[in-house]
Amino acid sequence: MINKMNYTTITRYQKCDILIFKNDIENNGYDKNKSEGEMIDLAVKHGCPIIIKSGKNGKWYLKGNGYTIEHIKNEINIKSGKFRDGVYCLLLE
């Protein structure tokens, strides 16, 4: 499990979404008008190492709670670059 208090780096992966339909918090997503900083704060608060922005005008999603970092990175390697422009994933480590 990932310790939510020890995130030290944030890595951005363009055109990437993982753990489709496995949203940990707010099953229907967060408002598109939230800032990236607000989403990082929420991800840390809820122990979610993945933040997804589903497009320029898309919602935000928090994911990955309970998954190992190895599993998450494997998913990112498989899915990175396979989504439309504007979709991106932030990995908090």
Q: Delimit the domains of the chain by residue range.
A: 10-92
Write down the pTM of the prediction: 0.89
Chain segment 43-52, per-residue pLDDT in tens: 999 999 999 9
Chain segment 54-77, per-residue pLDDT in tens: 999 999 999 998 899 999 999 999
Distance CA 92, CA 11 (A): 7
Chain segment 16-47, per-residue pLDDT in tens: 999 988 887 888 899 999 999 999 999 999 99
Asked if 63 and 52 touch (Cβ cutoff 8 Å), the reply is yes
Chain segment 10-19, per-residue pLDDT in tens: 999 999 999 9
Which has the closest alpha carbon to 50: 78, 85, 81, 20? Answer: 20
